[in-house]
Amino acid sequence: MAENEKHTLDPEVEKQLPAPLADAIKAGKVPADVLKHSHDADEAMKAFKGHGGQIIELDEATNKRLLRTIDWHLIPAATEQKQGLNFLDKTSISYASVMGLQEDLNLVGDNYQWLGSMFYFGYIAWEYPTSRLLQILPVGKYSAACVVAWGGVLACFAATENFAGAVAIRFFLGLCESAVTPGFALITSQWYTKREQGLRTSIWFSFNGWAQILGGLVAYGIARGSAANPPSIAPWKIVFLLWGLVTAAAGLIFLFVVPDNQLNARWLSKEDRILAIERIRVNQQGVGNKHFKWYQLKEALIDPLTWAFVFYALVADIPNGGITNFFSQLIAGFGYTAEESLLYGTPGGAVEVVTLLIGGYLGDKLRNRILVSSSGLIVAIIGVVLIVALPLDNNKGRLGGYYLTQAAPMPFVAFLSLISTNVAGYTKKTTVAALYLIGYCVGNVIGPQTFRPEDAPRYVPAEITIIVCWGVCLIDMAFIYVYCRWQNKKKAQVRAQPGYVKLENQEFLDLTDRENPEFNYHL
């Protein structure tokens, strides 16, 4: 649009627009694509109607008080859920694999590999539909319902008697889980500023590691106790039954604690709800929009940043899919017994917790999540090299190499937080998150297939595949870093042009990151 080119607005359209935006459009001060799409604003606009739409001043003391309140309510609920989820898809089946599951279900050949992969077929099948449901339905309630359903399905695993039944359970587990990680990412972007999101995402994701620690100890205790006093059901069934019921109960707690957004948070006063929205104005994103926008879908599909994220998730999770399903068997291959493999897997969880928390803190503090998280991937590559290169009789050294591989989730979590931070427009954000997690699923489907039975106990081809995949991921991370810096320079040039006007409440117009000149990409 040329500067000062006048426009006439349809009276019905003008009614839906904030007054400053309507005036700016008629004066020719707003880009044409904003004129076309911004009449459907973010849900946060509702909160400001009673205040005339003006910006509310938020002092530092009030901001800190609100942040403490938000943290005390959301972080425990999110970490509780993430812990339960981890027991479901990343530890239970691996522990069960050395507790008699394979023998009881008569698994032969590559049956176990397909159990590992089948979870992600369910995830893929429902990931995009669930991203739309997360946009349309109340995000807190829908996420909680999926967790409760997941816990019930997991408990049903204890009733399986053959490979076919186990395949069905794994498929529906993936289907139920597909809503939870993107749901948590959306909740994080709704409640926290960009500078706060990296650490918070790392905190709730670090419960993968806490779950590995506690899950290994509990599985070890069940295995030892069952050996001394044989139970009426197989020990591996106790694992699934226990964590299925715990997860379902945790989902009910989540339902009552986590609101859908600031507008219906029971633990905030009416005044604090407005302030909680005001404090995330700097994100240039708002809190949500329930209307599907085709142009945002198209933008997501043609944005190079989208596919760089997806490529990372796919390639990085080929190693993840193998290691998370086979780590107990891998440790047993180092020369330890099945029971010892349950116990010795727990320090790997501690490595994941420490690296994620340190990485999340430093990434936000230094404002460079990409650079900080790349160090975790380098450490993980060193770990796999140790597993491959050390002599077979060096059990402790190879076990130490496995522990180092648990630093690998750092970039995945950083990019999950960067999708919340760097992708704006609610339809676009949910689309990119869905594609990212579909890439994650495809990688996890492929991963278990690299651990072939004929390669046991060393699995050298799988380990070489892991090194290559992580090396390629470092190159992809470098591209994302350079691309975001380039886009920020272009936006700075737009803002520096004569006659540029920043609209009042532009942050809450549900504009995408590419169409909003005020939006800056974080590294």
Q: Given this model, what pLDDT does residue 37 score?
A: 47
Distance (Å, whole) CA 492 – CA 179: 36
Least confident window among 91-100, 221-230, 418-427, 491-500? 91-100
3-state secondary structure of 393: coil
Q: What average pLDDT does the chain have?
A: 80
CA 334 to chain centre: 32
Q: Given this model, what pLDDT does residue 435 score?
A: 92
Residue 229: is its pLDDT beyond 60?
yes
Residue 46: is its pLDDT beyond 70?
no
Contact indicator for 122, 178 with CB cutoff of 8 Å: yes
- Chain position carrying tokens 């750092």: 410
CA 74 to chain centre: 15
Residue 352: is its pLDDT beyond 70?
yes
Asked if the peptide bond before residue 457 counts as cis, ω within 30 degrees of 0, the response is yes
Q: Given this model, what pLDDT does residue 340 score?
A: 73
Region 225-247: mean pLDDT is 81
Q: Given this model, what pLDDT does residue 8 score?
A: 57
Q: For the whole model, what pTM was predicted? A: 0.78
Residue 16: is its pLDDT beyond 50?
no
Residue 385 — left, alpha, or beta (φ > 0 → left; ψ -120 to 50 → alpha)? alpha
More confident residue, 494 or 7: 494
Distance (Å, whole) CA 467 – CA 314: 15
Mind listing the pLDDT tens digit for each residue in 265-315?
A: 888 888 888 888 888 877 766 666 677 888 889 999 999 999 999 999 999
Q: Nearest 10 degrees: CA dihedral of 103, 107, 109, 111?
A: -140
Residue 288 — left, alpha, or beta (φ > 0 → left; ψ -120 to 50 → alpha)? left
More confident residue, 208 or 489: 489
Residues belonging to the chain = 523
Contact indicator for 138, 260 with CB cutoff of 8 Å: yes
Region 238-245: mean pLDDT is 84
Count of other CB atoms within 10 angstroms of residue 73:
18
CB crowding 165-182: b at 16 or more within 10 Å, else e:
ebbbbbbbbbbbbbbbbb
Residue 381: is its pLDDT beyond 60?
yes
Contact indicator for 106, 162 with CB cutoff of 8 Å: yes
Mind listing the pLDDT tens digit for each residue in 48-66?
A: 555 554 556 678 888 889 9
Q: Given this model, what pLDDT does residue 91 score?
A: 63
Q: Given this model, what pLDDT does residue 376 score?
A: 94
Q: Given this model, what pLDDT does residue 89 score?
A: 53
Please say whether the dihedral angle defined by the alpha carbons of residues 127, 130, 135 and 138, taken in this order, is positive or negative.
negative
Question: How many alpha carbons lie under 13 Å from residue 253 in its C-beta half-sphere?
Answer: 17
The proportion of the chain whose per-residue pLDDT surpasses 90, expressed as a percent, equals 18
Q: Which of 37-41, 162-166, 286-290, 446-450 ranks highest by mean pLDDT?
A: 162-166
Least confident window among 331-335, 368-372, 377-381? 331-335
Mind listing the pLDDT tens digit for each residue in 153-182?
A: 988 988 888 889 989 998 998 888 888 888
Confidence of residue 44 (pLDDT cuts 50, 70, 90): low
Q: Given this model, what pLDDT does residue 392 score?
A: 78
Contact indicator for 132, 70 with CB cutoff of 8 Å: no
Region 108-125: mean pLDDT is 83
Contact indicator for 210, 158 with CB cutoff of 8 Å: no
Confidence of residue 316 (pLDDT cuts 50, 70, 90): very high
Residue 38: is its pLDDT beyond 70?
no
Residue 19: is its pLDDT beyond 70?
no
Confidence of residue 3 (pLDDT cuts 50, 70, 90): very low
Residue 424: is its pLDDT beyond 80?
yes
All domains of the chain, ordered by start, with CATH?
60-495 (1.20.1250.20)
Q: Which of 68-72, 245-249, 443-447 ranks highest by mean pLDDT?
A: 68-72
Q: What angle do CA 408, 411, 417 make, to 5 degrees?
A: 135
Distance (Å, whole) CA 288 – CA 183: 12
Q: Given this model, what pLDDT does residue 11 score?
A: 60
Contact indicator for 413, 181 with CB cutoff of 8 Å: no
Mind listing the pLDDT tens digit for each residue in 118-162?
A: 888 888 889 888 888 887 888 888 988 988 898 889 889 888 888
Q: Given this model, what pLDDT does residue 32 score?
A: 44
Q: Given this model, what pLDDT does residue 315 score?
A: 95
Region 194-202: mean pLDDT is 87
Distance (Å, whole) CA 198 – CA 415: 9
Q: Given this model, what pLDDT does residue 473 score?
A: 95
Residue 464: is its pLDDT beyond 60?
yes
Q: Given this model, what pLDDT does residue 519 score?
A: 86
Region 405-422: mean pLDDT is 90
Nearest to 279 by CA among 210, 393, 192: 192
If you write DSSP's letter for every residue of 10-21 in order, what string do you get?
-HHHHHHS-HHH
More confident residue, 489 or 261: 489
More confident residue, 328 or 203: 203
Residue 78: is its pLDDT beyond 90?
no
Nearest to 447 by CA among 94, 175, 154: 94
